[in-house]
Amino acid sequence: MTEFAPFIVAGIATGAIYGLAAAGLVLTYKTSGIFNFAHGAVAAAAAYIFYELHGVHHVPWGLAAAVSVLVFGPLLGLVLELIARRVAGVDSATQVVATIGILLVITGVSTARYGVITIDFPQFLPHGTFEVADVFVGYDQLITVLVSVTAVAGLFAFFRWSRLGLQMRAVVDNPELLDLAGSRPASVRRAAWVIGCCFAALSGILLAPYLGLDATLLTLLVVDAFGAAAVGRFNNIPLTFGAGIGIGVVARLITKFVPHNQSLAGLPSSLPFLVLFFVLVLSRSGTFPTRLQHRRAYRTLVIPIAVKRVLVVVAAVTVVFLPAIVGAKLPVYTNAAIYVTIFVSLALLVRTSGQLSLCQLTFVAIGATTFSHLTVGAGLPWGIALVLAGLAVVPVGAIVSLPAIRLSGLYLALATFGFGILVERLAFNFGVMFGRGGQRSAARPDFIGIHGARGMFYVCAVVAALSILAAVVINRSKLGRLLRGLADAPVALAVNGADAKITRVIIFCISAFMAGIAGALFLALVGTASGAASGATFSTMSSITLLTVLAIAGRSLVAAPIIAAIAYVIVPSYITNAHLSSYLQIAFGGSALAIACLGGSSGTVLSKLTSSSAWRVARSPVTARLQLRSEVGS
């Protein structure tokens, strides 16, 4: 027993912090209905403030902690409440994009200021240890647990017995009634956001000494709290806290059994996401709280058919002569063509059926590694390997779509997020992917006159054009109508005989296929990919950035993927700046957030700015859901 004790003690300490963060997250979600993907980023930001004050300017740690938790936390909470109120009326896909935008802005600012390296964070709590029944416990660990337990118990008591707590519970059930009864739902929500962000800030400065200060790492580690929140059904605060401790302990115990430098080294850190994904996949529908979906009209630019034809011809001619125009920059344009396919695969999910995928680059990564095994490993012809690489990702898409069968938009987004990080932390380390010094390589196409950089470009451009064409055909076909029906009125599909589960799985499979092909092309373009480099390219952080870029690029299935690829790949290649990636994160995140706050569509924003009559009112499909029971009847 004693050999496990240190792991259990350390697990309880970190688990308590996850539990603390998760409790804050559940509080804001319960009261506002907005799931804050930026919760971890709030924690990271607070830790940076603490570091700036205490580590750089030598302010006493007590004062620094007070400023970050009791001043900065609440201030950020107030800002977030304003944003939450702005996006309360948009569909939940746009809400997810909005909080992801906040996340990107905060991490972008942090990395621009402090760089991407991990800074040693001062352990400000007492260092000594004491012994209880032959087990050494650090004072820092004891204090961490006591602070977390006190905060969560205080929150629970407050929720249970105070007047404001009662109002918070009421605002969950019926904000209109609360309004009529004389309490303002807005001020109740504001209090919830302030408390929730204080909890996040506290968890950030408690966690940072153990991990060091790294914006992305800290953001995602607090996101570990999502697993605990899922166990607590995004609803039950004590259960959430308990789950946080449980996950912390089990994760630490695994580190005892799985030594470092092994392919399973990522298991402890991916445990929360394993929990998140499987809780979501295995839960019955109706387990989690869902809210009424909002529909909001948005505006699209009406382009006459003749103009569209001219544009297509111009685009085709441009593509043909592009290699001659751009010269040495050609690989950038080839990469952009690949990203067009990736954005189309994403737009197929988001725009036709309102389903969110936060792990699109995971599909891409799996396609890339499979392609490498098929060409370099098995020696298959290039073209056949390309198609097979796409097909290999199809079952993965089907697995990821499992939560989509029974859960509403937000929980699908969470499950894809969990899946992405799970694969990134766990499977990327496997020898078959990029792990153990593994390096995946692939050749460029070389057949019937297609070879070299130009041949590569034309192949990628043709694939991009075919994927756009496929998306347009799907959107106009029976499947497209079924998907739109699925998003707007799933019950209507069911009462007419369609099995909506199948529709969802099909579109995920098609999307995964496209992403897999794009992955194969990507590997062929870059030649070789090793662990560290591909970790960044295919990371979940990059996946969620793609989603914000697509949100900025608009709702068209044709124009949006092209605009998104230009913004994500081509424009940055002409800018030289040491902090470029940070600034891009801020720009993409900030724009997506602004668009979400201004009505949820770039078309709506542009039409307001130009006040032109060319913008036609349309309706977005609401985020897909299959909560049949609560929606029908009176």
Partner 1 sequence: MIEVGGLVIDGLTVKYGGNVAVSDVSFAAPVGRITGLIGPNGAGKTTTFNACSGLLQPSTGRVLLDGEDVTRLPVHRRAQRGLGRTFQRMQLCESLSVRDNVSLGRESATAGSRPWSHVWDGRGERHAAIAATDEALRLCGIAELADSPVVSLSTGQRRLVELARAVAGGGRILLLDEPSSGLDHGETERFGDTLRFLVRERGSGILLVEHDMSLVMRVCEHIYVLDFGTLLFDGTPAEVTDSVAVRQAYLGSAA
Among residues 489, 559, 594, 598, the one that binds partner 1 under rule CB under 8 A:
489
Binding part of the chain for partner 1, among 1-9, 527-535, 542-550, 619-627 by CB under 8 A, reads 619-627
| 184 phi/psi in degrees, rounded to 5 | -85, 120
Indicate the DSSP class of residue 60. -
Q: Which of 260, 478 has the CB closer to partner 1?
A: 478
Tell whether residue 576 is a contact of partner 1 (CB under 8 A).
no
Tell whether residue 621 is a contact of partner 1 (CB under 8 A).
yes
Tell whether residue 633 is a contact of partner 1 (CB under 8 A).
yes
Binding mask 452-481 for partner 1 (x = CB under 8 A): -------------------------xxx-x
Binding mask 77-96 for partner 1 (x = CB under 8 A): --------------------
Q: Which of 471, 487 has the CB closer to partner 1?
A: 487
| 338 phi/psi in degrees, rounded to 5 | -65, -40
How do 528-530 and 439-441 pair as beta strands?
antiparallel
Number of H helices, E strands in the chain: 31, 6
Tell whether residue 485 is a contact of partner 1 (CB under 8 A).
yes
| Closest of 419, 409, 401 to residue 501, by C-alpha | 401
Min separation Cβ 494 and partner 1, Å: 4
561 vs 386: CA distance, rounded Å: 21
How many chain residues bind partner 1 (CB under 8 A)? Answer: 37
Residues 269-298 that bind partner 1 (CB under 8 A): 295, 297
CB neighbour class for 161 (10 Å; exposed up to 12, middle 13-18, buried from 19): exposed
Tell whether residue 566 is a contact of partner 1 (CB under 8 A).
no
Residue type, 184: R
Min separation Cβ 20 and partner 1, Å: 34
Two structure tokens written together for 561: 């993927």
Provide, for the chain, the percentages of residues in helix, strand and coil under a 3-state DSSP scheme, each rounded to the nearest 5.
75, 5, 20
Tell whether residue 632 is a contact of partner 1 (CB under 8 A).
yes
What residues pair up with 617 in beta bridges, in sequence order? 299
Tell whether residue 198 is a contact of partner 1 (CB under 8 A).
no
219 vs 103: CA distance, rounded Å: 8
425 vs 515: CA distance, rounded Å: 20
| 145 phi/psi in degrees, rounded to 5 | -65, -45
397 vs 565: CA distance, rounded Å: 22
Tell whether residue 113 is a contact of partner 1 (CB under 8 A).
no
Tell whether residue 599 is a contact of partner 1 (CB under 8 A).
no
Tell whether residue 619 is a contact of partner 1 (CB under 8 A).
yes
Q: Which of 150, 174 has the CB closer to partner 1?
A: 174
Min separation Cβ 628 and partner 1, Å: 5
Among residues 282, 492, 536, 571, the one that binds partner 1 under rule CB under 8 A:
492
Q: Which of 423, 474 has the CB closer to partner 1?
A: 474
Min separation Cβ 356 and partner 1, Å: 17
Min separation Cβ 406 and partner 1, Å: 12
User: Cα dist. 347→93, 104, 322, 420 in Å?
Assistant: 12, 20, 25, 18
Residues 307-346 that bind partner 1 (CB under 8 A): none
Among residues 620, 623, 624, 625, the one that binds partner 1 under rule CB under 8 A:
620
406 vs 597: CA distance, rounded Å: 29
Tell whether residue 611 is a contact of partner 1 (CB under 8 A).
no
277 vs 38: CA distance, rounded Å: 19
617 vs 174: CA distance, rounded Å: 31
Binding mask 497-516 for partner 1 (x = CB under 8 A): xxxx-xx-xx----------
Tell whether residue 494 is a contact of partner 1 (CB under 8 A).
yes
Indicate the DSSP class of residue 1. -
> Any residues with CB less than 8 A from the CB of 443 and at least 6 apart, and which?
375, 376, 382, 524, 527
DSSP annotation string for 141-194: HHHHHHHHHHHHHHHHHHHHHSHHHHHHHHHHH-HHHHHHTT--HHHHHHHHHH
Among residues 41, 493, 546, 592, the one that binds partner 1 under rule CB under 8 A:
493
Tell whether residue 628 is a contact of partner 1 (CB under 8 A).
yes
- Which residues are at the interface with partner 1 (CB under 8 A)? 295, 297, 477-479, 481-482, 484-485, 487-489, 491-500, 502-503, 505-506, 617-621, 628-629, 631-634
